[in-house]
Amino acid sequence: MMKLTGFVLLQLSALMFLRRRLAAEKRRAENAASFRNMLEHLLGLLERESAPMPELLQLLQKRVHGAAARFASALLDSMDMLGVHSFQELWRRALYAGSEDMDQELLRILEEPGTVLGRYELSRQLDAVGLCLDELRRYCEKQQREQPQKARLTVGLTLSVSLMAGILLL
């Protein structure tokens, strides 16, 4: 009876691990899509509005959701430190403050606009955001293509290892 209980608990913990892992992958994809949406809005705002960055961030914050909304809010909240810290540093801090569900490649892509925004002429800012947006779209497409394969691999490995360990336990 004790071995059977151990086997059942092992299988349940494997399923819980699997559920958390798949949920984390889903959040990662949602975060990337959220930032893609944010950059699309930012590009449009830069093209249409000639407002200072805090005003653009306020507009942006109202139009985006999820991780990008949290990022825009954190960046907007930190704008009073502009001058003490560069915009690039504030951008980076806000980005890394909510980075728990983002991989290094996504963070690298999203750091780029912060190096140019508010520092150079409008055409250069538009080019930088456009290039970042293109790279982010490719990243999202790659993640979308690879996600089913990663999910199958994760399910297969988790169930195989938990069943083998369970058999050894019995």
Reference 129, options 73, 91, 82, 84; nearest CA is 91
In a domain? residue 87: yes
The pLDDT, as a whole number, for residue 34 is: 93
In a domain? residue 5: no
Mean pLDDT of the chain: 87
Domain of residue 58, residue span: 27-144
The pLDDT, as a whole number, for residue 71 is: 93
- Domain count within the chain: 1
Token representation of residue 151: 């999910």
Judge whether residue 1 has pLDDT over 80.
no
| 151: CB partners within 8 A, 6+ apart | 22, 25
In a domain? residue 162: no
In a domain? residue 159: no
pLDDT bracket for residue 88 (50, 70, 90): very high
Higher pLDDT, 54 or 78: 78
In a domain? residue 108: yes
